[in-house]
Structure 1
Amino acid sequence: MGIFDKFKRGLAKTKSVLKTDVRDLFKSEGRLIDDGFLDEMRALLFKTDMGYDSVEEIVAEVAKNFRGRVVTLEDVVATWKDKLSELMAQDASPISFAQNGPTVIMVAGVNGAGKTTSIAKLSKMFVDEGRKVVLGAGDTFRAAAVEQLTIWSDRLGVDIVKEPQGTHPATVAYKAVERAVETSADVCIVDTAGRLQTQKNLMAELTKIQQSIRKLIPAAPHEVLLVLDATTGQNGISQAGKFTEAVDCTGIVLAKLDGTAKGGVVVAIRQQVGLPVKYIGVGEQPEDLALFKPAEFVDALFAEVGVEPAAE
């Protein structure tokens, strides 16, 4: 399944809302672009959780291009797509691999965001690329988290480092990186316990984990990926800001996109947080991870609303 098709599946609920509401917006062959139309359009876009600033920029673009004219659905959707692609533009930013030794990836996020499943998906991706992976089960507060990660490691055939419940997660992180170095692994992924962005002591713990990793590899972690649950919508933006303050996040993995009709939150995240969205979870299976590409994302979002893209 290609990236465009993965996005289409992940955005199914969001597209369903858009398809119905956009068709209602254009009940006739064409529509006069006036204040009434712009208000209806604004309300429609807000439903997808794009965020106030993003919606207002899109509305302003449509008003600038078409106010006072009768236009078709295709005209307006084309403008939406162009503006959204502009708002979400980012450098192609997959994983930044270390030049020498293992690439260390630290994964953080709030409870229930989908960290463990996202780690499994990342591991699957690396294994499929022929890379040797070591996992660090750093969520030592919950035995179930370690068990779940162990099940995934067995299923994917990757090494895992774990310690008894209650062990300081910095210790697990250190030992995982140590194992990766000793076994000449290509990638070490360190899990961390879920925590609320308001829990200052636990946020400080993330900094200690980073410090522990740097005792072995000063430049590590090479990536700090923040897993956000797409179903939380705008709350994810607050999470991203606080986590970034604690550990200098390098990018976002947006999980559970397939479980929400608010797929537009990707736009808000790019606009308000500034971190690149690196990967998007579009299902529950290990292979259901898509490298985020704004153009393909926008095409998929409007695939059943306007005109299908000519090619993937």
Structure 2
Amino acid sequence: MDGYLGVIVIVAVVALLAAGGLFLLFRPGRKAAPPVKPPEAPVLPEEEKRPAGAGEEAEGATTTLPPPPVKPAEPVVVEPQVEVPPPSAGRMVRLRSRLARSQNALGRGLLELLSRDRLDDEVWDEIEESLITADVGVAPTRAMVEELRTKVKVLGSRTQDEVRGLLREQLLAQVNPDLDRTLHVRKHGERPAVVLVVGVNGTGKTTTTGKLARSLIGDGKKVVLGAADTFRAAAADQLQTWGERVGADTVRGPEGGDPASVAFDAVAKGIEEKVDVVIVDTAGRLHTKTGLMDELGKVKRVIEKKATVDEVLLVLDATTGQNGMRQAQVFAEVVNITGIALTKLDGTAKGGIVISVQRELGVPVKLVGLGEGPDDLAPFDPEVFVDAILGE
């Protein structure tokens, strides 16, 4: 009996414990347990990431690779196109109309005055004034007027053609067609001819040097340019551009360097390349005559160690008139000028500077600039010049 009671007690205790557990589990207000998250994959650095399926041999697996780096395109170097300039022969004839436009006023005025029925002192004074205004110069003007007065007295009555003939004769005599206007650019055996270009900055000196190179190359010559104006970097750049257009090498030095050294190197390159002509562009500073003399004298002496200086061309701006004459005189005292290149002759009615500059310096005008185009530099022709002044 005691054993039976013991079993009942044990069963009752177990039942009570089971009931308490169920109460705790399902009691009101109890929160549900949070869901269990699956473990996250470790985050790998960028360089350790691999595309899905990498290292697996599963059928159909695809591997995506990054695109190859794009190589930057190399810059395209465009070689400057070499131009073929026209020959110098006949250029002034082709450019005569430009000259006539600027000089015709002088010619018309003189013809009108000389055609008057009565030529008294007042008319002759007007003729003289017209010539002086055109920069013919006082001495040449007086000589012309005196000669014209004498011939008009001999003729008596004058037709238009006779007046034109008289004036043409006198103008031509003052321009002096007998002067040697040959540009000396013939090489000496293995040595090239050397042309030294001098003049004040602003007269068109560097441009004239480039145009002269074009003209000579148009005549079939091979040319080297020397940028000895080392005080203006723009001058060397400009000259090099002119050279590249026509296939002429340009020798240049550091900005502010020794001009004589550049001139020497240019002549040396000319000899090495067996060219016909070396053209040297010099500095045009007129700070003092002594400084100019020292600089140009040194350039000339250094060149003569390698070759002969065949031409010293003085570049003058025709529009500067008598101021240009004073510049010319300074350079004439410094260096032995052999010829004059007169620029901007188409832009002034003062073409008489051709007469006055030749008379003052005793050297001929050999080249004239008749426009801004690359081929507007022409050998000076006295007859074409005078005919352009008088018109048709």
- Normalised by the length of structure 2, the TM-score is 0.72
The aligned runs of 1:50-69 (5 Å cut-off) are: 50-67=136-153, 69=156
1:153 aligned onto 2:240: no
Identity %: 42
CA deviation after TM superposition for structure 1 residue 194, in Å? 1.2
Q: Is the contact made by 1:279 and 1:289 (CA closer than 8 Å) also made in structure 2?
A: yes
Counterpart selection for 1:80 from 164, 167, 180: 167
SS in 2 for 1:110: coil
Residue 171 of structure 1, aligned match among 261, 285, 293 = 261
SS at 1:81 equivalent: helix
Q: Which residue is 2:277 aligned to?
A: 187
Q: Tell me what 2:122 maps to.
A: 36
Conserved? CA contact 1:136–1:172, under 8 Å? yes
Amino acid corresponding to residue 49 of structure 1 in structure 2 = D
Counterpart for residue 368 of structure 2:
280
Q: Give the distance between the partners of 2:288 and 2:325, measured in 1 at CA.
A: 13
Give the whole-Å Cα distance in 2 for the aligned partners of 1:137 and 1:18. Answer: 40
Partner SS state of residue 313, structure 2 = strand
SS at match of 1:71: coil
Larger relative contact order, structure 1 or 2 (CA cutoff 8 Å, min sep 6): 1
The secondary structure found in structure 2 opposite 1:222 is strand
Question: For the residues of structure 1 that align with 2:314 and 2:362, how far apart are their CA atoms?
Answer: 13
Aligned to 2:339: 251
**Contact 1:10/1:281 (CA < 8 Å) preserved in 2?**
no
Q: Aligned Cα RMSD in Å?
A: 1.9
Report the equivalent of 2:102: 13
CA distance change for structure 1 residues 37 and 197 in 2, over 3 Å: closer, same or farther? farther
Corresponding residue number in structure 1 for 2:132: 46
Gaps of at least 5 residues in structure 2 are: 1-89
Amino acid aligned to 1:295:
E
With over 3 angstroms needed to count, the CA separation of the structure-2 counterparts of 1:248 and 1:197, relative to structure 1, is: farther
The residue identity in structure 2 corresponding to 1:34 is: D
- Matched ranges for 1:57-136 at <5 A: 57-67=143-153, 69-89=156-176, 90-96=178-184, 97-100=186-189, 101-136=191-226
Deviation at 1:262, TM superposition (A): 0.6
Question: How does 1:193-212 map onto structure 2 within 5 Å?
Answer: 193-196=283-286, 198-212=288-302
CA-to-aligned-CA distance 1:195-218 (integer Å, 9 cap, x gap): 22853212320000001101112x
Give 1:57 shift. Answer: 1.2
Q: What is the match of residue 323 of structure 2?
A: 235
Deviation of residue 3 (structure 1)?
2.4
**Per-residue CA shift, 1:222-269, capped at 9, x if unaligned?**
111110111111222222222122120111111111121111110111
Given the two structures, how large is their TM-score scaled by the length of structure 1?
0.90
Question: Over residues 113-147 of structure 1, what are the superposed CA-to-partner deviations in whole Å (9 max), with x where a residue is unaligned?
Answer: 11111111111111111111100001100111111
Q: Kindly tell me: are residues 270 and 8 of structure 1, through their superposed partners in 2, closer, same or farther at Cα, counting changes over 3 Å?
A: farther
After superposition, the C-alpha distances for 1:78-117 in whole angstroms (9 at most, x for unaligned) are: 2121012112223332221233220100000011111111
Structure 1 residues 74 and 204, CA gap change in structure 2 (3 angstroms): farther
Give the gaps of 5 or more residues in structure 1: none
Give 1:302's aligned residue.
390
Bigger Rg over Cα: 2
Work out the CA distance in 2 between the residues paired with 1:198 and 1:47. Answer: 30
Q: Secondary structure at the match of 2:342?
A: strand
* 2:243–2:250 CA contact under 8 A, matched in 1: yes
**SS, match of residue 309 in structure 2:** coil
Q: Would the aligned equivalents of 1:237 and 1:269 in 2 still touch at CA under 8 Å?
A: yes
**Distance of 2:287 and 2:142 partners within structure 1:** 28
